[in-house]
Each structure stands twice: as structure tokens, then as C-alpha cells.
Amino acid sequence: MVVMADERNVMAFPERIFVIGDIHGCLDKLELLWEQIDPRPGLDQLIFLGDYIDRGDDSSGVLDYMLELKEIYTDTVFLMGNHEKMFKDFLSGIDRALFIYNGGESTLKSYLTRMEDYWEGRQGVLDEEALKQLIPEQHRTFLEELKPYYETDGYIMVHAGLKHGVTLENQSLDDLVWIREEFIYSEEDFGKRVIFGHTPFVRPLVLPNKIGIDTGAVYGNSLTCVILPDLKFISV
């Protein structure tokens, strides 16, 4: 699959841009982070790098939080991570074992706790009808509307990284949400500095050609936001 760019993937001149790394169902850390940052609706922009779900305790709560933010910060950009890609595939009946193996069970549990009576009535059978009832339509729409990447005058934001030598508009979705070592160890110029998540580091990775801000929130470490243009990092 080749991802095509469109004019909505570029926004000009917000005063500040807040880029937030992988949340992975850690709603408590997201709420703590929000106490530390101060984005202003209409003046500042929010960009989330994906992986909102899986492994943490409250993936469904994180998606609710994203939808609430979308109402307040109307220019917010939500990127797709590999875990949202797996969740979408799971809901479509594609490679469901891969989603479960990669932390999807915790995501499903976060929905099941909302509908315990329904789940008991189904006698633990997670079939298509149960999934339709469990996953709110707003969450499905949110997943469908996630962007593959976002570009500003000085940066490219993407979940996992880029393949060198491939133009941005011709990057495959698999690379955008899954690539790792080939991108991490590349010293090549990608045209603009790339801000990415996906690969966890103990602290933000800051290199001339890339900035990694997945700091392993779901593994007991911190959730990180970088504020542009000042390159100020806030981790909680």
C-alpha cells in the first residue's frame, strides 16, 4: 500500500506544536502530562504519534480522551501507529492473532470492563456481534481517520520512521508504522528532521536527522512531549 499526500497533511504557523509520544493505554500518565503542558486552543497545535492503545490498562479511556481533545483542539493531528493498524485489521477479521500477541488483549479488556453485564450474557463469546457492541462507533471512526504522517516546514512527524531513498508520498504504510533498525541507525538526510515514536528509549533520542520521543511509558518509564519550535522536552 502506498500512502498519498494531500494538502490537509500540512499546516502553517501555529505558535507552538506539542508532539506527544506513544501512550499505550496509560491514561494516568497522559493526564499527568496534561497537567504539565499548556497548549492553547486556536494558537497551538497538538500532534500525536500513534500507539494510543495496547499493553496499558485503559486503552478505551485513552481513545475517549483523544476524542475529547479533538473537540477542544480542532487542529489536532492523530497519526496511526502499528498498534492501531493491528486493531483495525483485527476488527476487519484480519490477522487477529497478531493483535492479541502484541498487547491487544489488554485493549479488549478495557472495553469489556465497560460492558460486564453484556459480556456475561454472551457467556464469554467474542464474536462479530460482540465486537460490534463492544467497540463504540466513534472509536472505529477515529481509527479510520488516522493520518500516516504529518509535515511542517521543518519537520516530518511519523510513528515509526521513514525508508531512505523513498519520497514521502511513496512511503509504504507498513514502513511508516513498523520500520525500526533501518531507520534508527540511518545517518542519511530525510529532507527534514523526523520526529517519531515506536522504538522506546530511556530518554528522548536527539540526533541531527531525527528525534525519538517514545520513552516507554507502558514499561514503567515516562510519557514524553516535545514542544516546537523550542525543542523543549517534558516527560512524566
Residue 222 within a domain: yes
Most trustworthy range by pLDDT among 10-24, 76-90, 107-121:
76-90
Residue 175 within a domain: yes
Read off the pLDDT of residues 163-205 as tens digits, 9 standing for 90 and up: 999 999 999 999 999 999 999 999 999 999 999 999 999 999 9
Q: Provide Rg for the chain, Cα atoms.
A: 17
Indicate the number of domains in the chain.
Answer: 1
Read off the pLDDT of residues 210-219 as tens digits, 9 standing for 90 and up: 999 999 999 9
**Which residues span the domain enclosing 191?**
7-235
Report pLDDT for 10: 46
Residue 22 within a domain: yes
In this model, does residue 7 exceed pLDDT 50?
A: no
Residue 1 within a domain: no
Report pLDDT for 122: 54
Question: What's the pTM value of the predicted model, to 2 decimals?
Answer: 0.90
Average pLDDT over residues 52-81: 97
In this model, does residue 123 exceed pLDDT 60?
A: no
Question: Pick from 87, 42, 44: which is nearest to 63 by CA?
Answer: 87
Cα–Cα distance for residue pair 31/120, rounded to 1 Å: 31
Residue 113 within a domain: yes
AA letter at 208:
P
AA letter at 151:
E
For the record, the C-alpha cell of 64 comes out as 475517549
Residue 65 within a domain: yes
Cα–Cα distance for residue pair 23/35, rounded to 1 Å: 15
CATH number of the domain where residue 181 is located: 3.60.21.10
> Mean pLDDT across the chain, nearest whole number?
91
Q: How far is CA 145 from CA 69, 70, 181, 183, in A?
A: 15, 12, 28, 25
Q: What is the DSSP string of 103-115?
A: IIHHHHHHHHGGG
Cα–Cα distance for residue pair 213/204, rounded to 1 Å: 5
Read off the pLDDT of residues 11-51 as tens digits, 9 standing for 90 and up: 457 999 999 999 999 999 999 999 999 899 999 999 999 99
Phi–psi pair at 226, nearest 5 degrees = -115, 135
Question: Pick from 87, 46, 80: which is nearest to 178 by CA?
Answer: 80
Cα–Cα distance for residue pair 23/55, rounded to 1 Å: 10
